[in-house]
Amino acid sequence: MRAGDHIGWGRDFPVTHLLVREDEDGVERLWGRCAGVDGFFADRVPPPREILTLRGCRPEGALREALDDLDGGGRAGRLFRDLLVEVWDEQRPVQWLTLTDAVIIARLPGRTDPALVDVVVGASVEQDPAESREVPKAPRFELHANGPVGTCLSVDGLFDDRDGPPSVPMELLGCEPAEPLLAALRRPCRSQGTWVELWALDRAGRRMYHHPLLLDIARSRPSVLGGTLVDITLADGGQDRPPLLARPVWETWYRGVPAIPNQWARYGNEGRNAWLRLTLGGYVGGEPDRSGGVHHLDGRHVTDVPGLHCAMAEAIVGPGGYYGWGGDALDDCLTGGFGVTPPFTLIWHDAAVAREALADVVSGPAGELGYFEDIVHLLRRRGVTVVLD
């Protein structure tokens, strides 16, 4: 469905959002259009912090370094932004739980094996609500923090029951419902459990971003904007909304797809992540891939991981374009379907900036490479001639 086909409605204010749902035949159908949304930007409420003990650990890499520093008289409190616990059954990983803002509190001798250690951490525990909660009969646990950092035999408290995140309402303002949404408004209880997408549009009517919504209608009423429009309160607008600090980035994109390089460079880490989400959110594709030629990457502002991928996308497909927002996504793009495929030449200017800035960000299949080196290896492995300038 083309968003631009649904932006004209003869009122003094524009359509800024569309409600869309894919039918059983895979066809996108319009459910409604709205003049605005209140609560679209919302900082995510983190889960409460807990104390957990990782039992029987064999630490590696950054975790071993942190524990060695603790043993050497270092102060407790080493922070791991995200410590991923990968839960395996006998053959494969089946669950992924993230210990967010994990802080090492203490290292204790292993209870059953002197070669192992117990690690006490404070963290918020996060798990995708769609994932299975069933614990394997004989689980094993692998630990990751920008690469593998060890294994452990069990984690005390990991599988405790937890309340879900609190609901944060969202207001759809000045809505003109199509027939499916009208039916849902007449019988809101029957609409619960229905998923739709909320499309955010720029001022030209191009889709900037699409956000999944559970259509849990708390109430509806005649709109404050008048006419036949309605305002709809949703009980919860979802947990993956853009954060409040993303507003300046969105204001830039609302004026149209950025055409000037390095507009993302003025923002910090979170702002650059928001920029990458918009490159992905508005990506449509459909054009044939091209290869060959020389692409120039301006490396002056590549001081973090999202900055690397902002600069990479600009070098390969141009400002505002999407070409991955992480290593795995970049690999997907290099295999085709995103406008440009190898072979081509990438001249990475001021590469030393990224090499130094990302020196402590560990990557690679065994955590043996820095992120910068891992990306360069990936590009070369896929057939890109990389020249570090």
Nearest residue to 346 (alpha-carbon basis) of 315, 372, 369, 378:
315
Dihedral of CA atoms 141, 143, 147, 149 in degrees, nearest 10, equals: -120
Q: Evaluate whether 3-40+166-241 and 245-388 have a shared fold.
A: no
Nearest residue to 210 (alpha-carbon basis) of 72, 23, 28, 9:
28
- CA–centroid distance for 156 within its chain: 28
Question: Structure tokens of 93?
Answer: 């990983």
**CB environment 221-250: b (16+ within 10 A), e (fewer):** eebebeeebbbbbbebbbeebbeeebeebb
Give me the residue label for tokens 């027939």. 179
Strand partners, 144: 84, 148
Burial of 280 (0-12, 13-18, 19+ CB in 10 A): middle
CB atoms within 10 A of CB 372: 25
Residue 351 makes CB contacts below 8 A (sequence gap 6+) with: 299, 372, 388, 389
Walk along the chain (389 residues) in steps of 10 and give the mean pLDDT of each run: 92 96 93 97 89 95 86 67 90 91 91 91 84 82 89 93 87 97 88 90 94 94 96 93 94 95 96 95 82 97 97 96 93 95 98 94 63 95 97
3-40+166-241 CATH: 2.30.110
Which runs of consecutive H residues, i.e. helices, occur in 133-178?
A: none
Burial of 20 (0-12, 13-18, 19+ CB in 10 A): buried
Give the pLDDT score at 260: 95
Query: pLDDT for 44-101, tens place per residue?
Result: 888 899 999 999 999 998 899 888 888 766 566 667 778 999 999 988 999 999 999 9
- Compute the Cα dihedral for 287, 291, 293, 294 and give only its sign: positive
CA angle, residues 82, 84, 85, in degrees to nearest 5? 150
Give the pLDDT score at 367: 52
Give the pLDDT score at 129: 65
Per domain, the residue ranges of the chain are 3-40+166-241, 49-156, 245-388
Nearest residue to 363 (alpha-carbon basis) of 341, 350, 378, 381:
378
Q: What is the CA radius of gyration of the chain?
A: 24
Dihedral of CA atoms 324, 326, 327, 332 in degrees, nearest 10, equals: -30
Q: Transcribe 184-250 into DSSP letters.
A: HHHSHHHHTT-EEEEEEE-TTS-EEEEEEEE--EEEEEE-TT-TT-EEEEES---S-PPPGGGHHHH
Q: Are 87 and 141 in contact (CB under 8 A)?
A: yes
Residue 26 makes CB contacts below 8 A (sequence gap 6+) with: none
Give the pLDDT score at 146: 73
In CATH terms, 245-388 corresponds, of 1.10.3720.10, 3.20.20.70, 3.10.20.30, 3.30.370.10, to: 3.30.370.10
